Amino acid sequence: MNQLEALKKMTIVVVDSGDIGSITRYTPQDATTNPTLILQAMSLSYYQDLIDESINYAKKRKGDYKTKIVHATDKIAVSLGIKVLNLISGKVSIEVDARLSFNQELCIKKANKLINMFEEEGIDRSRILIKLAATWEGIKAAEELKKNNINCNLTLLFSFIQAQACAEAGVYLISPFVGRIYDWYHERTPIIPYQYKRDPGVMSVHKIYNYYKSHGYSTIIMGASFRKKEQILGLAGCDRLTISPSLLAELQSSTDVIERKLFGAKNVIHLSRKITESDFRWIHNQDVMGVEKLSDGIRKFGDDQIKLEQVVEDRF
């Protein structure tokens, strides 16, 4: 048994890619996408017709030129999502424009639009996770969307208070960014030799996992953004792990034994506390890494969304 097969026995493995070839090769239950991955996928030859189809769709919709460009990029994300869903049994995550991350109302509006576009194509909303940045506005939007059976994946999660607020809001799933946390600390104090128990990204997920399980929260924890195989193995047993094709290949090529690192809690203590907006903003503000990486992640996803719109505009 290779390490990927062994990992699948203790953790749901999700592929972090929009590449159909990778999804077919690694047979995940679920898949995640984001503007960066979609932008990469759009350079592949077999997606060119999808871009043209999305542009034709947008031209028939109401709105000015700029609005039609947005319609086209939304259609690209949905069409790519449908291609992925045809290959997996579970869910696909589709990201809301990062530039809306600080507007709860617009996050909700965009999420509803994307869900409606999937449902127009016969895809049930139960198979879609709407990705929102784990800002206060994103978390509150997810809380409202859940009332209409729209589940969300709260991404760009770096600070512990983000995880606490997501759990209290009843968010379906969170994506702690292990690799980006590691990057921030490694730039300041390199971990040499590397040990997963000294990796701040891995340890952040251990802390969240133990907190969720010991307090009975149902929110799913999906570790994300890995830089090395050892980070993944250090989280064996986590609810889910979304992994890039290159690291999936590394796992598949090794038959070394792996051990479960995360276990459910024996005793559950339910909390009655409620995090306020001011609590969230102040406590998150105290986490310098969390503040910097959340802002940086939103900017980068926003930049890639702009690049995707430019690709569409050049062919419109």
What is the pTM for the complete model shown?
0.95
**Residue 48: per-residue pLDDT:** 87
Backbone angles phi and psi of 29, in degrees to 5:
-75, -45
Q: Are the C-beta atoms of residues 130 and 101 closer than 8 Å to each other?
A: no
At residue 73, does pLDDT exceed 80? yes
At residue 107, does pLDDT exceed 80? yes
What tens digit of pLDDT does each residue of 132-141 get?
A: 999 999 999 9
Indicate the pLDDT class of residue 189, thresholds 50, 70 and 90. very high
Return d(Cα 251, Cα 228) in angstroms, integer.
Answer: 10
Return d(Cα 184, Cα 178) in angstroms, integer.
Answer: 10
At residue 90, does pLDDT exceed 90? yes
Give the list of residues 6+ apart from residue 175 with CB closer than 8 angstroms, or none. Answer: 32, 131, 153, 154, 155, 156, 157, 222, 223, 224, 225, 242
Indicate the pLDDT class of residue 280, thresholds 50, 70 and 90. very high
**Residue 267: per-residue pLDDT:** 77
What tens digit of pLDDT does each residue of 26-69 get?
A: 989 999 988 888 888 888 777 888 899 999 999 999 999 999 99
**Residue 42: per-residue pLDDT:** 81
Indicate the pLDDT class of residue 270, thresholds 50, 70 and 90. confident
Q: Which of 68, 91, 110, 131 is catalytic?
A: 131
Match 């064996």 to its residue by tokens. Answer: 236
At residue 271, does pLDDT exceed 90? no
DSSP string over 245-260: HHHHHHHHT-------
Instruction: Kindly state the tokens that stand for 19.
Output: 């590449």
DSSP string over 90-118: S-EEEE--GGGTT-HHHHHHHHHHHHHHH
Indicate the pLDDT class of residue 147, thresholds 50, 70 and 90. very high
Percent of the chain residues past pLDDT 90, beyond the cut: 86
The secondary structure of residue 46, as a DSSP letter, is G
Q: Are the C-beta atoms of residues 59 and 68 closer than 8 Å to each other?
A: yes
* Distance between first and last Cα of the chain: 49
At residue 101, does pLDDT exceed 80? yes
- Domain ranges (residues) in the chain: 3-315
Please state, as a whole number, how many other Cβ atoms lie within 10 Å of the Cβ of residue 124.
11
Beta-ladder partners of 154: 132, 174
CATH 3.20.20.70 for domain 3-315: yes
Identify whether 66 is a catalytic site residue: no
HSE, CB side, 13 Å, CA atoms: give it for residue 165: 29
**Residue 265: per-residue pLDDT:** 79
